[in-house]
Amino acid sequence: MLKNPVVVDNQIQARGSRAHGPKGLEGTARLENQARLAPCGKYDERTAIPDLQERSFVVDEHKISQLFTSYFNNKMTLLLFLIQAQKVKPNPVLIGTVRGFLDDVFRHMLEDRLQKRYRLVFKWLKRFFEKLPDVSVYQRDKAKDFIRAIYDAFGLHLKSNI
């Protein structure tokens, strides 16, 4: 996250960034950037996001989006490994973790308007993971399709060759 961002060549830079040496912006560049600040603490109209607080919010939102995507992909990869492992009986603690993740995704991360549509998908997946490894090939394929549907619900892309 950028703390104390300044505009350098119409791009956001953080004070102390390596692009300008270990001590940040120096001399006239710092003065020029401070001159861009309006008296009320806002940047002038030449910047893309004029208000410093709004700019910080956009950067924070982007960072949170990346963190969620990484978290989601890591957990879903575990689910895909469990689906594909045919003769491995998972640890009951791991199955509890999977159930907890699916519950969290359904209750807290999935939009309210989508919860009714995906309720049976999540319920089916939780039962599927409890029955592992005693599931058919058809059930494994169906589980993969449901995982793909969950990815689609979040607007993320799952590679089609799984």
Q: pLDDT of 88-133, one tens digit each?
A: 889 999 999 999 999 999 999 999 999 999 999 999 999 999 999 8
Same domain, 111 and 32: no
Same domain, 37 and 112: no
Same domain, 73 and 107: yes
Structural domains in the chain (count) = 2
d(CA 98, CA 121) in angstroms, rounded, equals 14
How many other C-beta atoms can be found within 10 angstroms of the C-beta atom of residue 106?
19
Which of the residue ranges 49-63, 94-108, 147-161 would you say has the lowest mean pLDDT?
A: 49-63
pLDDT in tens, 130-148: 999 899 999 999 999 999 9
Same domain, 46 and 68: no
For residue 97, the enclosing domain spans 64-153
Indicate the pTM of the whole model.
Answer: 0.61
Q: Per the domain annotation, does 101 fall within a domain?
A: yes
Same domain, 42 and 114: no
